[in-house]
Chains A and B, each alone.
Chain A
């Protein structure tokens, strides 16, 4: 019985290691037919499943080799239905935006290298693939700092060994 419980616990821990879902959250600034990613982060969480694949725009995420990791269609949030009631009468309309910030939540991919947002057939956003932005919680500065530290350490060890030899 104790063995069964231990196996169960181990299995649960193994599953826990792989079950944590992570997402990218992108902040996109849209203006007059163009868009750019102005902020992004990686966090634990859920992305919409997008069972209804429709809208006037599409979002694609690529790995650093240009292979598609994620792709879906969505409606650019540029049309807001507004409604209110006044003296028992429902009124409202549609506000059409030409400039707007919005967010998109997408499943996390460690090897993500670029995204493209297209509106109909016209490309309105493209981020190239030079930066491997799928690395979580490790900015380029920290990455370079660690790399520099490791190189400096190796040189230090090498110099100490050499001095001892002499």
Chain B
């Protein structure tokens, strides 16, 4: 009788173990896939940033230079000057296999080597390799008049400012610096950047540079996020910055008990990380486009006037009459009108678009950058 009862028990146990193992396997595979995707984005950003810097320094005055710290995956990065003889045998097999590549990230069998614009190395070693320090490397770009010299620097040269995406010279781009520096900060920053870059008009217009400062910086969290702005500006000035993004780490549980507001004020965006990730894009709309909220919350808009904002108007919505769009009641206050029924400025949970009129407003601002 006991033996009969134990057969289904064992069977159920085996099933549970198998299902558990399957779930674990699926979870680990997914986690690996996500990590691989993140690494791919990071490598793309790194190589694209390098290319932009090399193109810039190919034509700059000889001797001019710039140091830049990059975020990279892997243990170390090797740079191969294709116009010189290779003298580091361990990389020879990889340079033969990937004949087009000149940037290699170790472990070489994990990361696909990449091709960057042609550069020169001043090192007698070719390739010249540099170890990453907490996922960061420092490179110096020196103009030789018609060619760029890339000089990998020692770990001691790694500054606080990490370049995540360099699309061009800071004086021609919108430079956004992220601060927060908590555990998991790097991952959160990557996600917010991806979120914004997936949305028009930023998707089509690569006029943003992104930087990260890993030194811890925290703000007081009450109903809103309160930061010491003097200390914040001191820290942010380590990087080029037209705008500062403070990430305030919050758990979902703490958020459920006490919801905290993300906000935008005077070139500073403060993001509650427990809110929907698109809240960053919404705040960016306030910061960059001077866009008002398109939802209605009558109790909170003392002194709000639509004429101060390009996306709210009175009937018949003459501000955007040149664009074929709507004139819908409700834009911060019930008495004002907006252009689209749903947009990121109205509801960042359900919408991933700024809407036609807001895109035009943002594009107009982007014209100040190249």
Contacts and interface: CB of A to CB of B under 8 A. Distances in A.
Interface stretch (B28-36, B39-47, B229-237): B229-237
Contacts of B279: 83, 85
Interface in B335-370: 346-349, 365, 368-369
A84 B240 contact: no
A15 B65 contact: yes
B63 interface: yes
Interface in B156-191: 170-172, 175
B295 A92 contact: yes
Contact of B272 (A74, A81, A84, A104): A84
Given A11-B62, A41-B234, A49-B171, A83 B239 contact: no
Interface in A13-51: 14-16, 19, 23, 25, 27, 39, 41, 43, 45-51
Given A48-B242, A86-B259, A92 B293 contact: yes
A109 to B, nearest CB: 16
B365 A52 contact: yes
SS of A interface (majority) = strand
Contacts of A14: 63
A46 B259 contact: no
Interface in A78-116: 79-86, 88, 90-96, 101-105
Q: Is the interface of B mostly helix, strand, loop or mixed?
A: loop
Most chain A CB within 10 A, of B63, B64, B144, B332, is at: B63
The interface centre, meaning the residue of A15, A85, A96, A105 with most chain B CB atoms within 10 A of its CB, is A85
Contacts of A47: 237
How big is the A interface, by class? 35 or more
A76 interface: yes
B63 A90 contact: no
Contacts of A16: 65
B297 A48 contact: no
A52 B286 contact: no
Contacts of B293: 81, 83, 92-93
B302 interface: yes
Contact of A45 (B64, B237, B266, B299): B237
B11 interface: no
A23 B238 CA distance: 10
A41 B268 CA distance: 20
Contacts of B286: 81
Contact of B234 (A43, A51, A74, A83): A43
A12 interface: yes
A159 interface: no
Nearest to A95: B224
B136 interface: no
A8 interface: yes
B117 interface: no
18 contacts: A8-B142, A12-B63, A16-B65, A25-B233, A51-B172, A51-B368, A76-B266, A81-B263, A82-B224, A83-B279, A83-B283, A84-B259, A90-B295, A90-B348, A90-B349, A92-B261, A94-B304, A96-B303
Given A12-B63, A82-B224, A82-B261, 12 more contacts: A43-B237, A49-B170, A74-B266, A77-B268, A81-B263, A81-B283, A83-B261, A84-B261, A92-B293, A92-B295, A93-B293, A94-B332
Q: Nearest 4 CB-CB pairs, A to B? A: A93-B300, A77-B266, A103-B233, A45-B237
